[in-house]
Amino acid sequence: MLLNKRFYTFIIASHADAKLWRLSLPYPVLLAIAFFAVVGIISAGVASYHYGRMILRVEEYNHLLSENDSFRAENHNYRIQTAQLGEKIDFLETLAHKLSIVSGMNTEKSVGGVGGFSRESFSQPLPASAGTLPSIDRYNKSVSALEDQYRGMSEFLSRKILLASAVPDRMPVRGYVSGAMGPREDPFNRSIIEHHAGLDISAPYGSPVHAPADGVVIFAGQREGYGNIVVIDHKFGIVTRYGHLSKMNVDVGQRVSRSEVIGYVGTSGRTTGPHLHYEVWHYSIHKDPRQFFSHTENE
């Protein structure tokens, strides 16, 4: 009971007019005011804390929305570029297939259609697989296969080019065939039938003799019956011989190119007049030189 009768008096003075105000409050009222003041301060602090957290979350949310829009745009461009890459890979695969057929590396006759990326594709929805990791893995495998295919094609074409440069595809001297390959009468004894191992190409004395293909000189000297003779190894088992020369223009070990002068027509050895005796051997088997000719005249 005594607690309820206690009063607290607050004196408020004004410096302007020297007036005093007295405010007497019972202890319970003062206690209630203090309680509500403390509660209000705590509530205000909690509210301020949650409001600040809400502001931060809103900012984070807006930032995530912005990043999400950026990622969506990047993903869209990524999917478009991946689709373009797929189209280019399809085109390169078709091109490689065509080249393999044209080069003779592949004997198939059918050639698939070609691909291409058009502007209309931008306005069309991309397939679900476009731009996905499985499609990227598939494209990487396709690129690896293309690399292997082009590497094999390069090796094939390089070998084909080397083979083409090694084939004696033209007459080594400008003239006419006066003696074919095969059985014939010995020009010095008509009663004897001999096997002629090459062609006799009649040409004026001193006419230049050209290498019909690239190769390396493996012999340049004299042999019985041939007189002055040059022998060239063209690789791939192809060897050519040039007999009855009046003069040799190359040395052993020398590399010669197609159309390079290797000697001159003469009458050395066993011959009845100026001409070139020309032989082609393939893996130690003599061949008719005419089966390799693509030109009838030396260029």
Instruction: Please give the pLDDT value at position 162.
Output: 81
CATH of 176-292, one of 2.70.70.10, 2.40.50.140, 1.10.3720.10, 3.40.50.980: 2.70.70.10
**Is the pLDDT confidence value at 289 over 90?**
yes
Per residue in 24-83, pLDDT tens?
Answer: 778 777 788 888 888 888 988 888 888 888 888 888 888 888 888 888 887 777 777 777
Per residue in 67-82, pLDDT tens?
Answer: 888 888 877 777 777 7
Per residue in 80-121, pLDDT tens?
Answer: 777 777 777 777 777 777 677 766 666 554 444 444 444 444
Domain borders along the chain are 2-66, 79-166, 176-292
Contacts of 14 (CB under 8 A, 6+ apart): 20, 21
